[in-house]
Amino acid sequence: MKIAFRTLILFIIVFSAHKISLGQKKTLNPVFTADSLKSGNSKDVLTSFFQLAFDNLVGPQKELRFSSNPYAVMMRANPDLAVDSSYLRYTALRNLNFNFNLKLDTSFKFNGFSSGINYSILNRRDYTVFREFLTLVETKNFEYHKLNGLVVDSISALVATGNDSVTRKLGFKLNDEWTKLTTKGTGFTFNMLSTDVKAILLDLATKNNLEEAKRLISSNAKMSISSKAAEEYEKVRNAFKQRALWTIGISDTTYKDQFMFSNVVVSTQFLKGISRPESNHGLEVDIRGKLNFLNDTLISGKDLKRSLLNFEGGLNYVWRSKKTDLSFVELKMSAAYSKIFNGIYLNEREEVFTLNGTLRVRIISDIWVPIEFKYDPDLGNVFGFLSVRANFSALNKALAQMK
């Protein structure tokens, strides 16, 4: 009864916070940052700044967990490190996560302590180095930036011809149509270009080997320079959502009565987007493996002679907001296989196969509530776990914008 009551209070607090945020009169424009395009699932794999999690809220083995990385701690102490040059310099520190976990029993009493480190050996989702992102966008739109400079020079040359009124009028005409073509919201597109202006643009693109610009001008497309630039930006931004993330890690758990290891876990995890990048609804491949060394309670003393292997693979469905592109609902379905190599107990199965699922909902800003379940088809048992995760970097940014 106490556990159910505490859970109810937790949901009331979280829901109230969400309701308050929706009631703000100030409208926030979507800003795509280092964290914003990541799925909640990927943030659990590798934390960009700080994360506080309360796992298995209503179960017998609760866990309060704090995760971060050395660079985030350094930046917290010295805000001057929050620049792109520091991001590049401390890449190795940003790819290293550490965590400290407090184990609790059903009465919320101390039941052990655990810690671990996690390192990303392949982090293609790291766009905290925002220069890489901007460089990719600039590369995509390089031809249009160059063409813009050529057009400006041509306009100046035509207008400055003196008494030749026809040439000057052509210069003003080129200026007018190019301005409308490059300004957002005018509705002016390539197919609306006059014949003489189009001829000038094609000549500039041809002489300067701007093949993409030449193709676009010749196509009479119902598209402007501004919409084309926005399209290329979207392509780069969407590609980041699909990038791979691969981590390896090791963690340990102590006994509740002394600082000795009762469990050591070596793990690895791989994430990769596989759906169409431009879609608001995406799929991630999620593959993970763990090798556990545990205390064998059948042997006197404290040891790590019991060992088991766990492998899990599945898909994570990410549902994003069309307006902000933020993930707000995720559903992961997976299958897991575990095998005990040493230390099998009486009536314990050597191999176990389960079907797993996690429904993850973003409640407010970057506070997530994952609901996990496991189904054992051999015994017909279903196990459920309720957790809460808070990623403080994004939350602090949102609250600061609301002031």
Q: Which amino acid, residue 202?
A: L
- At residue 236, the pLDDT reads 64
Same domain for 263 and 364: yes
DSSP secondary structure string for all residues of 249-304: EEEEEE-SSSS-EEEEEEEEEEEEE-S-TT-SEEEEEEEEEEEEEE--TTSSS---
Q: What total number of domains does the chain contain?
A: 2
Radius of gyration, alpha carbons of the chain: 28
Q: What is the mean pLDDT of residues 362-377?
A: 86
The Cα–Cα gap between 310 and 386 comes to 21
Domain boundary among 203, 235, 267: 235
The residue among 233, 198, 188 whose CA lies nearest residue 219 is 198
Same domain for 229 and 253: no
The Cα–Cα gap between 257 and 236 comes to 52
- At residue 185, the pLDDT reads 76
Same domain for 256 and 178: no
Where residue 329 sits, what CATH number does that domain have? 2.40.160.40
- At residue 188, the pLDDT reads 84
Same domain for 263 and 118: yes
Average pLDDT score over the chain: 76
Both ends of the chain: CA-CA distance in Å?
39
Same domain for 117 and 142: no
Same domain for 395 and 292: yes
pLDDT > 80? residue 177: yes
Q: Which domain holds residue 370?
A: 2-122+243-402
Domain boundary among 218, 235, 252: 235
- At residue 12, the pLDDT reads 35
CB 193 within 8 A of CB 221: no
Same domain for 319 and 208: no
Cβ atoms < 10 Å from Cβ of 164: 11
From residue 386, give the alpha-carbon distance in Å to each of 45, 110, 186, 228. 18, 19, 51, 45
pLDDT > 80? residue 54: yes
DSSP secondary structure string for all residues of 140-174: HTHHHHHHHHHHHHHHHHHHTTTT-HHHHHHHHHH
Q: What is the pLDDT of residues 25-51, one digit of tens each?
A: 333 333 344 455 677 777 777 777 788
pLDDT > 80? residue 293: yes
Helix residue ranges per DSSP H, 24-129:
40-45, 70-77, 84-89, 91-94
- At residue 229, the pLDDT reads 65
As a whole-number percent, the residues of the chain with pLDDT over 90 amount to 15
